[in-house]
Amino acid sequence: MKAIVQERFGPPDVLELVDTDRPEISAGQVSVRVRAAALNPYDWHMLRGDPYVARLMGGVGLMRPRRRVAGIDVAGQVESVGAGVRGLRPGDEVMGFCHGSFAEYARTTADLLVPRPAGLTFEQAAAVPMAAVTALRGIRTAGRVRAGQRVLVNGAAGGVGTFAVQIAAGLGAEVTGVCGTSNVDLVRSLGAAHVVDHTREDFTRGREGYDVILDNVGNRPLGLLRRSLTPTGTLVANGGGSPGQVFGAVGSMLRVIAVNGFVRQRLRTILPATPATPATPATPAGPAREDLLAVAALIEEGGLTPVIDRTYALADAAEGVRYVERGHARGKAVITVA
């Protein structure tokens, strides 16, 4: 099969399209014929092996990548199932989490797959798992957003942000989205009652008191973010897309957790929803089938729509990762696997 592999840490140029063996499955596992795979900030973090502290934690690999084939979001068809798998059979169209999804075939476990929602293309379905589940965790689980609350989403035009705006608006919140000039109309169309153009205005300098802030960018000091909250408001810091190097988002997330114990406001952190995401008192656990089913249900009900920025052929995966790493993706970028 064709697959995108990396033999060492580095820039997108280290990614190579090669012929390799199909992954074999064992009991409880599922082989998926990949039709599309989303690109995420997670992918370039894994590619570069940053932050360095993550290498010491074992999820990335110390001197070389722990996983040779890149990718984690997937949409495709079940090719085969291992012993003990229930509820899935060859030919079923699915979406979910699957390490090594930048390939023609990949393997995962049944609990990380759900049926592809009717009406979504494979490309749209691939855009859902990590970004939509992370947004759901940020808005509903960590943020506890309720109808009538004032919610601000910083980075509203990105992968997580486009889902978060829709989820918060669907819960009945008055949503303010922060984005660049070219994305103002997009964010408004997703359900934001107000849109702040960050090139012209700093939302932390206003007097508005938000009940919940979901920060997907990490470009504002904690003190300024807290000042923009109500006295008992909730800040949810998403550390998934922050630049890495030594500590990356880990240092700022630790500050959030430390300060949380001394203030009335609720300060929470989240990481991208992946099978390897650790659980902490301030961070929801890794992905669960219930969350995948929840976002699938929202899509089926018409309350959630993936926003696709660009699509790439499998051979052009390095170009796609490079684009996402620049931080200007409008919604999601997706790899189509022919």
Task: Report the C-alpha gap between 151 and 37 in whole angstroms.
Answer: 30
- In residues, how long is the chain? 338
Residues 135 and 52 in one domain: no
Does residue 206 sit in the same domain as residue 239?
yes
Q: Model-level pTM?
A: 0.90
Q: Does residue 208 sit in the same domain as residue 176?
A: yes
Residue 61 lies in a domain: yes
Write down the pLDDT at residue 136.
96
Q: Is the pLDDT of residue 145 over 80?
A: yes
Tokens linked to 273:
């929803």
Strands 266-270 and 308-313: unpaired
Alpha-carbon distances, residue 17 vs 23, 48, 69, 73, 319 (angstroms):
16, 18, 10, 18, 12
Q: Are residues 320 and 207 in the same domain?
A: no
Are 237 and 315 part of one and the same domain? Answer: no
Give yes or no: residues 250 and 317 share one domain: no
Q: Above 50 in pLDDT, residue 56?
A: no
Q: Which amino acid is at 28?
A: G
pLDDT at 42: 83
Instruction: Specify whether 160 is located in the same domain as 264.
Output: yes
Domain that holds residue 217: 131-270
What pairs with residue 151 in β-bridges? 175, 212
Same structural domain for residues 43 and 77? yes
Long-range residue pairs from 304-307, CB within 8 A, at least 24 positions apart, any chain: 304/132, 304/163, 304/166, 304/167, 304/170, 305/166, 306/120, 306/124, 306/125, 306/127, 306/128, 306/132, 306/162, 306/163, 306/331, 306/332, 307/127, 307/162, 307/186, 307/190, 307/331, 307/332
Residue 257 clears pLDDT 90, i.e. is over it = no
Q: How many other CB atoms are found less than 10 A from the CB of residue 265?
A: 16
The CATH number of the domain where 13 resides is what? 3.90.180.10
Provide DSSP, 286-318.
S--HHHHHHHHHHHHTTS----EEEEEEGGGHH
96 and 140 within one domain: no
Let me know if residue 280 belongs to a domain.
no
pLDDT one-digit tens code per residue, 193-246 = 999 999 999 999 887 899 999 999 988 889 899 999 999 999 999 875 454 443
Q: Is the pLDDT of residue 137 over 70?
A: yes
- For 153-184, write each residue's pLDDT tens digit: 999 999 999 999 999 999 999 999 999 999 99
Pick from 4-13, 56-65, 205-214, 221-230: least confident: 56-65
Let me know whether 37 and 93 are in one domain.
Answer: yes
The answer to whether 9 and 48 are in contact (CB under 8 A) is yes
Q: Please report the pLDDT score of residue 64 as a whole number.
A: 66
